[in-house]
Chains A and B, each alone.
Chain A
Amino acid sequence: MPLINFLIYFLTMIGIYSVLAMSLNFQVGFTGLINFGQVAFFCIGAYTSSLLATKAGAPIIVGFLGGMALSGLFGYIISIPTKSLKADYWAIATLAGGEVVRLIALNEQELTAGPFGVMTIPQPLRWLFSKDTYPLFYLLLVCACVAIIYLVLSLLTNSPFGRDLKAIRDEEDLCLSLGKNVRKLKLQAMVIAGVVAGLAGALFAHYITYISPENFQPIETFLMWAMIIVGGRGNHLGAILGAVVIQLFNISTRFIGGYVPFGSDVMSALRMVIIGVLIVLFLLYRPEGLIKESKKVYD
């Protein structure tokens, strides 16, 4: 039984991270926007949804929608400077933006309870299930979300809209010369990515029922980056595969941790060393990732 429970937990987390990785991939792999503050979306989605459900007493679905909306709004805000900033400056700004969001969660104690975090976050449809079956239901819920997001993002990236985004990623000036409103397209891409990542945040918060600023350290962003670099950018399956690989690695090293004579701090440090090295090795020797960007072929 514990093994099954663990497996369900593991798969649920993979699902949530798949959504986050797909969101990041939509920005990086399709639009060419280097976002180093991805965790901010996750944080905003989680906090908004859980605060709406606990403090404001709103129905959980309102919390989810609110989380997605606010995260989308954040996407809108950080997309504004893309028009005047070079890619690397924008990347630095997003890193700072992500930290500002976490600091607000940490310091605005009246709203967010600061370092103590938000506790006893309600779970959707909890009363319908027993304690043992609920995690399974939640896993199915997460899987459904992954499927829907995958479908919607695929529709988007296979449409003329997606073609515009890829063209912006490869040749921004050309798009301008063809009359594309690059600023608006980037803005739309960031809002979509924000809504998607906000959903992941809400799913996460209502799953583990307790969140604190500790859950939204910048290292989360780097894990998501590792996922899309290993899995492959510019296609949604790659992002999901990356989430699976990185999470599998994460969890399996936690398992091994019980059998080797190192402390947990040593193990987690070792894990991150390997992830850092993995990012570099992939960029050097397999820049396209495990799954290549697919080519659209007409006959």
Chain B
Amino acid sequence: MLTIRNLRKDFGSLRALDHVSLEVEANSIVGLIGPNGSGKTTLFNVVSGFYEKDGGEIFFKGERIDGLTPDEIAKKGLCRTFQVAKAPEKLTVLENMMLAAKNQTGENPLSAVFRRPRVSTFEKTNLERAMELLELLQLLDLKNEYAANLSGGQKKLLSLGRVFMLDPDLILLDEPTAGVNLTLTMELLKVIKELQKKEGKSFFIIEHSMKVISDICDKVFVLNFGKTIAEGTPEEIRQDEQVLEAYLSGASGGLPREFETG
């Protein structure tokens, strides 16, 4: 599904990504962990086209996607969320969901004026889907609230909702459960697993909670100083000494909550 080869990204003299190579297979859930500043979010930014790479290749469904703009990449079916969830402040929760639907006829100004019946049929279908997803994410009561008034955790849920609405093939999630309460997290994980099993979606997830990782991931990559230092099943990673060392010597000091299992 997603193949990254020798990817390089520099910020001035700092090498944020140092020949990273990894693979996300179709129909799988892959985790990405690493200490703060290890380059996880940078990797997402490069893959989704927000940053320009300085070297290497990225393939998605067999096609080169490095060099494409973010919207072109998203149109190909690779979609990402942001670490700090973004939400257009003057759009309601429901409008946020409707915004994400792809290939809307009404996005063309001429159709918006001259082909209104067709546009409203589309809107109706999208509205139903949006309502279903909001129910699933327990945001239905807030549907007419401005997105700016949501809490951080709710914004995270909303960004997941938007991605599900867009319905891409590969979904890059940047800390999807940070700030979301435990019961809802469990619920979310169930949704993710279901989407993978039933609809064959793939996920690539940056996550800090090792519990979440062990729960859903088939495979985990560990990033440190912009390099992949380990890969394997969650169980293997937990045992890996190199990984433990990377975390122990990390600037944050001490064992981080990545390894808290509770």
Contacts and interface: CB of A to CB of B under 8 A. Distances in A.
Asked if the two chains touch in their complex, CB atoms less than 8 Å apart, one says yes
Nearest to B122: A160
A192 B109 contact: yes
B70 to A, nearest CB: 4
B91 A167 contact: yes
Interface string B75-101: 100011110001111111011001110
Residue in B95, B105, B122 whose Cβ sees the most chain A Cβ within 10 Å: B95
B72 to A, nearest CB: 8
Contact of A166 (B50, B91, B109, B144): B91
B5 interface: no
Contact of A179 (B79, B94, B112, B143): B79
Interface residues of A, number: 33
A126 to B, nearest CB: 31
Given A171-B86, A178-B162, A182-B71, A152 B113 contact: yes
A161 B82 contact: no
Contacts of A178: 71, 74, 79, 99-100, 162, 166
User: Chain A contact residues: over half helix, strand or loop, or mixed?
Assistant: helix
A212 B109 CA distance: 34
B91 A170 contact: yes
B109 A177 contact: no
Given A161-B108, A188-B109, A293 B74 contact: no
B64 interface: no
A79 to B, nearest CB: 14
A238 interface: no
Interface string B45-69: 0001110000000000000000001
A156 interface: yes
* Interface size class, chain B: 35 or more
A12 B112 CA distance: 30
Contacts of A160: 98-99, 104-107, 112, 119, 122-123
Contacts of B112: 155-156, 159-162
Interface in B103-128: 104-109, 112-113, 116, 119, 122-123, 127
B102 interface: yes
Interface of A: 152, 155-156, 159-164, 166-167, 169-171, 173-182, 185, 188, 192, 234, 293, 295-298
Closest CB pairs A-B (n = 5):
A179-B74, A159-B112, A160-B106, A170-B88, A176-B70
Given A166-B90, A177-B79, 5 more contacts: A160-B119, A171-B88, A173-B82, A173-B86, A192-B109
